[in-house]
Structure 1
Amino acid sequence: MKATSANLLSVIKGPKQFVIPIYQRTYSWQLAQCRQLFSDILKIGTSKSSSGHFVGSVVYFQESIYNTTDVPQLLIIDGQQRVTTVCLIILALSEFLKKNDIELETNASKLRNYYLLNSDEDGDLRYKLLLTRKDKETYVNLLNDHPQPEKHSQRITENYQYFVDTINSENVTSVYNGIMNLFVVDVTLEKEKDNPQLIFESMNSTGLDLSQADLIRNYILMGQEIKVQNLLYEKYWFPMEQNFGNDYVSHFDRFMRDFLSAKTSTIPNINNVYNAFKSFANGLLIEDIVANITEYSSYYANMVLHKEKDNNLLHAFKNLSVLRVDVAYPFLL
């Protein structure tokens, strides 16, 4: 592991691509967090005494040193929210400069080519930041000024629009100066020597930032090769997320507790589901585990989210919900 204090834009600049692995949660910063970061940027951008503003760490590792291109692909395991948000600010700033005649030390083209694009590359490698699934499509559409599909990432578009609406001729210089003075702890991992999973757990040991569901998904997918990650996610985990729908975040932790209760005959604490899962999974084949979880999650969705097709069973499950007899779910699973 190599950790140094670094200017964030210096970390991003140059031929490289930061990739958000498929096991990471999607971009989730709210407007309140964007406002706070933007306020910090304005403060540092107008201050004559401060030398910079620390915004946290960016932790990543290179998946393979045998790339066929000159653009290393760096997988981020911590810091994707900050990096994505700063890229949205840079994009909004470049759009403002493109439409307004403002004298700065930079211009719209330089901002895009230095910090948003690998201008000599084609395809996905053209983008310095590659998000996952819906976030990726939405972000790429913004970069290319393409219309968004109906089911786009609202967090990406809403936060970007906030920065577009907030940058103006009075604060644009401060915004640029502030972005130029953002600092991070730049942490580079060596995949063969450092264990990304252990480092990830230590950074999220309080359980406040990530749900038990996030931690379990990362545990299952992080240690696998990228092709295996994609296979497991597309074949098992994504269909499960789709089945839970908007209730995925609120129900998955409870489902996993009931799943583990059914499998181990021991009821784990709701805040200790991840550790209980690791004990359960120790020594088992990952694909067998995730296939089993996906199968049982469909039973759980039928019972709790009332997706059962059989009318008699559906009526019974609705009665259980009305009576709040959730202690029966492990038995029913």
Structure 2
Amino acid sequence: MKADSLKIARVFANGGDVHYVLPHFQREYAWDKENWQTLLNDVIGLYESYTSDKEPEHFMGALVVINDGTRNGVIPAFKLVDGQQRLTSISLLLCALGQIIENTHASLHKRIRRLLTNPDETDILFYKLVPTKKYGDRDAYLALLKGDEFPEGIDSKIPEAYRFFFKELDNRIKAQAVDPDRLFLVLANSLQVVFIDLDQGERPYEIFESLNAKNKPLTQADLARNYIAMKLPEKRQTDVFEKSWSKIENLLQDKRTVGRSNLGELTGFLRHYLTMRNGVLCNERHVYERFRDRIENETSNVNEFEEEIGTLKKFAEYYDRLLRPEHEPDLGIKTKLRRLNVLEISTAYPFLLQVYEAYGNKSISRAEFEEILDILENYIVRRYLTNEPTNYLNKMFPVLWREINPSKLIESLKRVIVSKKYPSDINVRREVLTEQVYDKRSQTREKIVLILETINRHLSIKNHSGGYTILDKPATIEHIMPQTLSDEWKTHLGKAWEQTYKDYLDTLGNLTLVHRKLSF
């Protein structure tokens, strides 16, 4: 290991050729506005104290790299193990400055481009820094340096960071509060890093994990990705990441959360996948550990390991359909999954993953899949209307599939569900009279709309009316006994109007659906 203090200009080879690539285990560009503002404040502070006789220094932390040989025989190449957030942000600052002064400071623009690119090279070697493909980071950064528009449909933070730096610098330069040439010298010479060059024999994945644990905390999915890279021979990494893992990360992104939890989608998927496999709800803080344990216990060679990652990809596609039913091609299944999503039953996902797998390998029919979803909806709605504790489901769903007889699937599921604290008709009729189900949360309102619409449809069929009223979307929930009582209502309710109001205001029987144009 070698460590040196380097100016940013030297990190970029003082305008010479160099090539930094982020390994597969690196996370996406994750800095946000608070980080960008801090960097900008540091730079402006240095600018204000910078003179021709005095170059202030500001250490930004470490850049940890591992030598990756040369490209085209002469260009030194490095894998960037730690420090990508800093180096990417500085590069975006330089990009913004270069774009602002392109038509007014030709010589300076050329110097900036020389720091950011290898002008005599083509393809990927043209770029000194190559971000990961996650969330479109690479596509966004390369488009920026090529002068193209940012790609549409990406979730990268790079465009937002660039626009932030561009706006802030442009305002200062137009107001003549900042001189571009002097600002460039600050960026190139005053910003410094500790450049740590690892030996080939050192394990970059373990160092990445250790270093990042001290900075922005790694998610459980970050740790799993790092572990996958560590387990794979380097020559197999690109193939596995591009064919399987990157597709998983594109489907399930940790910047989006699952249900009411704060778990990112990818971490949530790994948790529910492991729960499905082990039959016990995986603690959200131990997802990586359980993932690592499964790999160590269930795979004995690289081929089995790659097969497990391929299996993960298949289940990630199922999980994506659970989260976003619009991705399910079958209309009937799609409709029923949407209804279950309204009921917020992410605890059932381990069970539903197994149902999806059975459907995928044709062990169950489409009709059986739909009936399973109907049975689950019935169970969840009954428990909701009787205010049964939801924590029981955390133990019930992980083992539910194992308790079903596959040769008599539907009959067996109904029998098992009834044994799982299933509210009877008598209990539902009793509790629904007094259970306060309404509150102002949008999720609660969606559940009530679903339940009332289903009752409306059921009564229409039962009474042979030939149809039922289809209300506007979103339908409006109205209280029959109003939330604010008039004197007439108080008189109508009688002397005990206060108790009656308290007991029945937010019960299901006091709620109805109306067209929005009729609500008042």
Shorter-chain TM-score bucket reads 0.7 to 0.9
Q: Which residue number corresponds to residue 212 of structure 1? A: 220
Amino acid at match of 1:330: P
Q: Deviations over 1:72-123 (max 9, x none)?
A: 2211121111111111111222333433359xxx72212221x111233222
Change (3 A) 1:122 1:297: closer
What's 1:146 paired with? 148
Distance 1:323 1:76 in 2: 45
**Following superposition, which runs of at least 4 residues in structure 1 exceed 6 angstroms of deviation?**
none
In the TM superposition, what is the alpha-carbon distance from 1:37 to its structure 2 partner?
Answer: 0.4
Quick one: percent identity of the two aligned structures? 29
Alignment of 1:174-253 (within 5 A): 175-179=183-187, 180-191=189-200, 193-205=201-213, 208-225=216-233, 227-244=235-252, 247=256, 250-253=264-267
Unaligned runs of 5+ in 2: 258-262, 354-520
Distance 1:317 1:154, change over 3 A: closer
CA-CA distance at 1:198 after TM superposition: 1.2
Instruction: Measure, in 2, the Cα distance between the counterparts of 1:273 and 1:260.
Output: 8
Post-superposition shift, 1:17? 0.4
Bigger Cα Rg: 2
The equivalent residue for 1:162 is 164
SS in structure 2 opposite 1:187?
A: strand
Q: Which residue of 2 aligns with 1:45?
A: 47
Corresponding residue number in structure 2 for 1:261: 275
Q: 2-side partners of 1:147 and 1:329: how far apart? A: 39
Work out whether residues 139 and 151 of structure 2, in 8 Å CA contact, stay in contact via their aligned partners in 1: no
Contact 1:197 1:223 (C-alpha < 8 Å) held by counterparts: no
Matched position secondary structure for 2:102: helix
Counterpart among 94, 113, 116 of residue 90 in structure 1? 94
- How far 1:9 sits from its partner (Å)? 2.5
Q: Matched residue of 1:219: which SS?
A: helix
Q: Deviations over 1:169-218 (max 9, x none)?
A: 42135532431211212121223x21112111112336953321122122
The amino acid of 1:123's aligned partner reads D
Contact 1:138-1:153 within 8 A present in 2 as well: no
Q: Which residue of 2 aligns with 1:121?
A: 121
Shift of 1:282: 1.5
Q: Which stretch has the larger CA shift, 213-222 or 46-55?
A: 46-55
Bigger relative contact order, structure 1 or 2, given CA contacts below 8 A and separation 6+?
1
Give deviations 1:134-156, integer Å, cap 9, x for gaps.
33233223223234443456532
In 2, Cα distance between equivalents of 1:97 and 1:82: 23
C-alpha separation between the residues in 2 aligned to 1:153 and 1:330?
28
Normalising by structure 2, we get a TM-score of 0.57
CA-CA distance at 1:287 after TM superposition: 0.7
What residue is the counterpart of 1:294 in the other structure? 313
Q: CA deviation at 1:277?
A: 1.2
Partner of 2:466: none
1:164 CA drift (Å): 2.5
Counterpart of 1:81, as a letter, is Q
Q: Map 1:74-89; keep pairs closer than 5 Å.
A: 74-89=78-93
Q: Structure 1 regions of 5+ residues with no counterpart?
A: none
1:313 deviates by 4.1
Structure 1 pair 143/318, CA: closer, same or farther in 2 (3 Å)?
Answer: closer
Structure 1 contact 6–184 (Cα < 8 Å) conserved: yes
Q: Give TM-score scaled by structure 1 length.
A: 0.85
Find the residue that maps to 2:56 and give its secondary structure: coil
Q: Tell me, yes or no, if the aligned pair for 2:25 and 2:205 is still in contact at 8 Å.
A: no
Q: How many Å separate the matches in 2 of 1:119 and 1:66? A: 17
Q: Verify the 8 A CA contact 1:61 1:190 in the aligned structure 2.
A: yes
User: Residue 282 of structure 1 aligns with which residue?
Assistant: 296
The 8 Å contact of residues 70 and 77 in structure 2, kept in 1 or not, is answered as: no
Q: Which amino acid aligns with 2:224?
A: I
Amino acid aligned to 1:302 = R
Query: Partner of 2:73: helix, strand, or coil?
Result: coil
RMSD: 2.9
